Amino acid sequence: MTAVGETASGTASVPVVSCLGVPVSAHTREGAARRVVHRALRTREAREAHRNAETGAAAPAGSDVHLCNAYTLALGDRDPALLRTLRSAFLNLADGQPVVWANQLLHRGTALPRRRVYGPDLMLDVFSMSQGTGLRHYLLGSTPEVLAALQRELRRRFPRAVLAGSCSPPFRSLTAQELRDQEEDIRAHRADIVWVGLGTPLQDHRAAELSAALPVVTVAVGAAFDFIAGSKRQAPSWMQQGGLEWLFRLGCEPRRLWRRYLFGNARFVGGVVRQAALRPAPRTSAPPARPPDVGTGLTGRREKAR
């Protein structure tokens, strides 16, 4: 990976397109990692400036990043709360290759990447880019054993990255006090980037809550903890590139995942077909100066790095 920074000014823009009502930023793998690192650096600067100013003003807000695969979008298609969370997010990325293909189908007039932004790749790339920047990483989720293995692997690969802390919450609904304690632990460790691996949709809601409560960048990163730690096998690259990772994971964990993929995939495909059917008919006259909106009105919108 190359040095930190999207452009000299950090103002590169990418298309943002709608997929099942969710605005998805069409970043490349490297562009997504740069976006996260750049945002974390800006947030840290704002947090430090606020602390040094010693004013009564509210601390700067955080930013939430979500890795969206077909299952995530299918859940959002039937869960209004998750859809609201994703629609109000700072950044949504196409984690699944089928999402990439759906966006190419639905938004043929927009230049879009051909490859997804895979959660484990994003995490590794951000750790690599953040070395030497002082950015502090916090790991939230999974079991103590997986977290220990994950931290060993990250320290081995990125010795100059800063692992500030970690937390393995219990596998149940947390009390209000436990949630506050979790936030205070993140604050006490002066985290800049919080990696949230709690499973969809819990991780998406928690990432949004934490970014609203703390001046940090949160990334809902799915099964990246298990894959990087080596506690779960990843699909071969040819299956990932062919959009068949779900089939590999189903074969590995059929009892846990059969319902997710049977109903989730069907709902995702149905949602894409429904959105495609709502596309306006092609114009025969000269196109207007601004492209017409599609679906939920997000085609043509562009994300501006802040």
DSSP symbols for the chain = ---S-SSSSS--EEEEEEETTEEEE---HHHHHHHHHHHHHHHHHHHHHHHHHT-SSPPPP-EEEEEE-HHHHHHHHH-HHHHHHHHT-SEEEE-SHHHHHHHHHHTTTS---SS---HHHHHHHHHHHHTTTT-EEEEEES-HHHHHHHHHHHHHH-TTSEEEEEE---SSPPPHHHHHHHHHHHHHTT-SEEEEES-TTHHHHHHHHHHHHSSSEEEE-TTHHHHHHTSSPPPPHHHHHTT-HHHHHHHHSHHHHHHHHHHHHHHHHHHHHHHHHTSPPPPSSPPPSSPPP-TTTTTT-EEE--
According to the model, what pLDDT value does residue 280 have? Answer: 66
pLDDT in tens, 151-190: 999 999 999 999 999 999 988 889 999 999 999 999 999 9
Would the pLDDT of 200 be above 80? yes
- Calpha distance 14→31 (Å, rounded): 9
Structure tokens at 3: 């040095």
Mean pLDDT, range 45-60, rounded to an integer:
77
Mean confidence (pLDDT) of the chain: 85
**pLDDT confidence of 60, banded at 50, 70, 90?**
confident
According to the model, what pLDDT value does residue 119 have? Answer: 95
Mean pLDDT, range 195-202, rounded to an integer:
95
For residue 257, the tally of other CB atoms under 10 A from its CB is 16
Instruction: Write down the residue that tokens 């054993």 correspond to.
Output: 145
For helices 176-188 and 202-213, the axis angle rounded to 10 degrees is 60
Would the pLDDT of 11 be above 90? no
On whether the CB atoms of residues 86 and 76 are closer than 8 A, the answer is yes
The CA distances from residue 110 to 172, 175, 225, 229, 273, in Å, are 43, 45, 33, 37, 19
Would the pLDDT of 192 be above 80? yes
Lowest mean pLDDT among 110-119, 137-146, 225-234: 225-234
pLDDT in tens, 271-303: 999 999 987 655 544 444 444 443 333 444 444
On whether the CB atoms of residues 57 and 82 are closer than 8 A, the answer is no
Burial 278-301 (b: 16+ CB within 10 A, else e): eeeeeeeeeeeeeeeebbbebbbe
- Calpha distance 78→66 (Å, rounded): 18
Lowest mean pLDDT among 4-18, 50-64, 120-134, 169-183: 4-18
Lateral strand order in the sheet of 13-19 = 162-167, 136-141, 193-197, 217-220, 63-68, 91-94, 22-25, 13-19, 302-304
According to the model, what pLDDT value does residue 287 have? Answer: 47
According to the model, what pLDDT value does residue 172 have? Answer: 87
pLDDT above 70 as % of the chain: 81
